[in-house]
Amino acid sequence: MNINELLSEIVSLVWGTPLLIFLLVANLILLFFSKLIPIRGLGHAISLVSGKHSTGEAEGQITHFQALSNALAATIGLGNIAGVAVAIYQGGPGAVFWMWISALLGMNTKFFECTLSVMFRGKDYQGEVQGGPMYYIENGMGKSYKFFAFLFALFGLVGTLALFQINQLASFLETSYSVDTTITGMLFAVLTVYILLGGLKRISSVTSKVVPLMSVLYVILCLVILAVNSEKVFPMFISIFESAFGFGQVAGGISGYALMHVIQTGVKRAAFSNEAGIGTAPMAHGNAKTNEPISEGYVAMLGPLIDTIIVCTLTALAILVGIESVNMNTIELNGINLTAFAFTKSLGEFGKHSLGIVIFLFSFSTMIGMANYNKKCWDYLFKGRWNLGDKTFILFYGLSIGIGAVIKMSAVVNIIDICYALMAIPNIVATVFLAGKVKTALAKYNTKFKI
C-alpha cells in the first residue's frame, strides 16, 4: 500500500457514517435553536453587508463586507470550479444535490460559529484582536478544553494551506498551455509572498476588490453556457435528483453502499466548497469591526448561499450540459481539467481562455484568503516562539505553494479531506456546546432591531 492509498483509507474512515450522522444531528440541533434563521434573517444579512448598521468605533480590523470577502475569497475559488468537477467525477450528478442540502444546513452552522467567533474573541501574541474556533473553544468552553483548540489549530495549519488551489491552477496551465507545473508554483509562490508581506489590511484590500469581480465574471460565463445549451438544462436538473437517490439505476435501485458514497461525496465537496462547520470562516469574521456578535453571524450565513447554492450550482450545470453527450469512460479527466473540457465543448477556445482568466483570479484570491486562516493557526500554535514569527510563516506558506503545484491531485484532495474532518469535529462540538449563548443573544438582538 502506497502513501496515497493509505490516505484514501483514512479519508474513508474519518468521513464515514458516524461523522455524517454526527454532522446531521448537530446541524438539526442548531437549526432548532435558530428557528430557521437562514430564511427569517436573509434580508437583514444583506442590509448589514451594505453597511446599513456599521459601527465605526467597534473592535476589529475590517468591515463586514471585507470579512465576508475574505471568507468568500477562501471558498469561492477552485473549490467551486474544480471541486464540483471532482464531486461529479466521484459521485455522479447526485452528489450536487447533497452539496445543496449541506449548504442549506451550512448557512445555519455558519451563523452560529461566526457569531461565536466575535462573542469569544481573544488576542494573539502581538495583541491583535482575533476570533475563530481556537478562541471560542478556549474562552467559551473553558481552559480545560484548550487541548481541543490546539488540535483544531494543528490540523488547520495543514488544512488551510492552498494546496488544492495551486495544484489545480498548475494542472490547468500545463494541460491547456503547456506551462510547466514547477514554473507555475514558483511564480505564484513569489506573488503570494508579496501580498502577505502587506499584512491583513492588504489581504482585505485585494480580496474585497477581486472577489466581487471574479464572481460576476464567472457567473456570466456559466450563464452563457447554459443559454447555449438551454434545451439540456432541465434534463440535467432531473439527473441530479435521480442520481441523488439512485432512481433509474441498474436493477431498479442502488445499493446502500453506493448511495452512501454519493452522499459522502456531496457532503465532503460541500465542505470543500463553502467550509461551513469546518471552522475556517469564523477566523475571517472574527476580525470584523462590530460589537454585535449576532450581526456577524447574519453576514456569515450568506457565504454558503453565494458559494454553493449559486456558484456551485452554475458550475455543476455548466459541466453537465457540456459533457452530456460524452462517454465519461472515454476521457481521463478530473478536477479542473474536466471543467475546462466541458467549457470548451460548449464555447470552443473562447470558453477555455475565458475560464483560464477566471481560474487565475479564483485561485490567486483563494491562496491569499487561505493564508489569512493559516496565519491564525500558526500564531495560535507558536505565538512567535522559537523565531517562528511572521517572516518564517510567510516562507512556510510560500514553500507550500511551490510544493502544492507539483504533487498529485488525489494526494492533495485526500490530505485536505482528512484535515477538514479533524477540524470539523472539535469545531462542531464547541458550536453545539455554546449554542445556548447564541440563542439568548439572538433573541435580544432581534428584539432590538425588530426582526
Q: State the CATH architecture for 3-50+57-449.
A: Up-down Bundle (1.20)
Q: Domain segments of the chain: what residues?
A: 3-50+57-449
Least trusted range by pLDDT, from 84-88, 233-237, 294-298: 84-88
Give dist(CA 313, CA 218) in Å, integer.
12
Q: Give the other-Cβ count within 10 Å of 308's Cβ.
A: 34
Residue 252 has pLDDT above 50, yes or no: no
Which residue would you say has higher pLDDT here, 205 or 215?
215
First to last CA, the chain: 57
CB 119 within 8 A of CB 430: no
pLDDT band at 51 (very low <50, low <70, confident <90, very high): low
pLDDT band at 251 (very low <50, low <70, confident <90, very high): very low
Burial 192-209 (b: 16+ CB within 10 A, else e): bbebbeeebeebbebbbe
Residue 38 has pLDDT above 60, yes or no: yes
Residue 121 has pLDDT above 80, yes or no: yes
pLDDT band at 4 (very low <50, low <70, confident <90, very high): confident
Residue 253 has pLDDT above 50, yes or no: no
Residue 255 has pLDDT above 50, yes or no: no
Give dist(CA 353, CA 186) in Å, integer.
22
Give dist(CA 56, CA 156) in Å, integer.
31
pTM: 0.82
52-66 pLDDT, tens digit per residue, is 655 545 554 555 565
Q: In this predicted structure, what is the pLDDT of residue 432?
A: 95
Sort 179 into a burial class: Cβ within 10 Å, 0-12 / 13-18 / 19+. Answer: middle
Here the cell at position 103 is 449548504
Give dist(CA 365, CA 81) in Å, integer.
14
What φ, ψ does residue 440 adopt, rounded to 5°?
-65, -45
374-406 pLDDT, tens digit per residue, is 999 999 999 878 777 788 999 999 999 999 999
**What average pLDDT does the segment 268-285 reach?**
74
Residue 250 has pLDDT above 80, yes or no: no
Q: List beta partners, residue 299.
A: none
**236 CB-near residues (< 8 Å, 6+ apart):** 93, 317, 320, 321, 324
